[in-house]
Amino acid sequence: MKEIILVKEKELKKAGIFLEEKDFTEKAFKYSLILASVSIICFFAFTKLTTAVLSGILVFALGIFIAIRIPLILKKKKAKKIEKYLPFALMAMSVELNINLSFEKILSNLSEDYGEFSFEIKKALKEIKAGATIQKALFNLSERTDSKILKRSISQITSIYEHGSEQKGEPIKQLAKELLSRQKTESKEFTSKMIMYSVVFIVLSAIIPAMFQAFISIGSTFMEMDFTSIQVLLIITVFFPLLNLAVLFLIKSKTPEFLKG
């Protein structure tokens, strides 16, 4: 029987999860099973056994789904954090290449002040000190991250290191400018979307709750309302705030990483 693997080890490393694929799968099944068992016990106290078992199956399936999704989300987030600082790191690198600093010194300088990118550069420097070539260390860096932009940048850097040119820093500078231009475009697109998000938030946080309360207050004098006082209270104090939080979470998730503090 073929062994079940939820997420490949390579993808786990890209997400910053340093577990073997077998261990990750075992933990995912273990914790999903625990949650499913708790769900069955809780539901069985208030409902029929069939309903409780169905809830357990759903919770187990949801747990496995989340376990599969988490590495995908984390590796994407990691890539965005690296891309946030990459243009500035490349710009600094282009200057240092033009003044003929050694690659080791340049990498050492890049290992500070550039967030997640610097963190990965530090790993590359450790590999170099352990005996790896610069090309191999940079290749490993690109393989640890699910970012096409980073892979392209590393490819350019490696090419310059291996072949060189009269203006070594110029290709890197052009790439940095291109990435900055892309960030500028993304920023403009997000700004235009932010207008829509703001309108939605205002509607959900102020207009709809006010209309609902007016409907309840006025409507109850002319017709029979199906809402109890507890239901109205829960809608106002729980449901609407949760909607607002959902919109805020959506805005945060859509905000480009380079615009975050």
Q: Has residue 207 got a pLDDT over 60?
A: yes
pLDDT band at 1 (very low <50, low <70, confident <90, very high): very low
Q: Which residue is associated with the tokens 């790191």?
A: 89
Rounded Cα–Cα distance for residues 105 and 96 (Å): 9
CA dihedral 247, 249, 250, 252 (to 10 degrees): 130
- Prediction pTM value: 0.77
- Identify the pLDDT of residue 222: 65
- Identify the pLDDT of residue 173: 92
Angle at 206 between CA 204 and CA 212, to 5 degrees: 80
Query: pLDDT by residue (tens digit) across 100-120?
Result: 888 889 999 999 989 899 999
Closest of 258, 138, 251, 121 to residue 196, by C-alpha: 251
pLDDT band at 261 (very low <50, low <70, confident <90, very high): low
Query: pLDDT by residue (tens digit) across 12-59?
Result: 888 888 888 889 889 999 999 999 999 888 887 777 888 888 988 999
SS (H, E, C) the chain: CCCCCCCCHHHHHHCCCCCCHHHHHHHHHHHHHHHHHHHHHHHHCCCCHHHHHHHHHHHHHHHHHHHHHHHHHHHHHHHHHHHHHHHHHHHHHHHHHHCCCCHHHHHHHHCCCCHHHHHHHHHHHHHHHCCCCHHHHHHHHHHCCCCHHHHHHHHHHHHHHHHCCCCCHHHHHHHHHHHHHHHHHHHHHHHHHHHHHHHHHHHHHHHHHHHHHHHHHHHHHHCCCCCCHHHHHHHHHHHHHHHHHHHHHHHHHHCCHHHCC
Share the mean pLDDT of the chain. Answer: 87
Rounded Cα–Cα distance for residues 251 and 205 (Å): 14
Rounded Cα–Cα distance for residues 236 and 221 (Å): 20
6-29 CB burial, b ≥16 within 10 A, e <16: bbebebbbbbebeeebeebbeebb
pLDDT band at 91 (very low <50, low <70, confident <90, very high): very high
Query: pLDDT by residue (tens digit) across 131-176?
Result: 999 999 999 999 888 899 999 999 999 988 887 666 678 889 999 9
The domain segmentation of the chain, as residue ranges, is: 9-77, 80-178, 186-259
Q: In the chain, what is the greatest distance between 2 CA atoms, to the nearest angstrom? A: 85
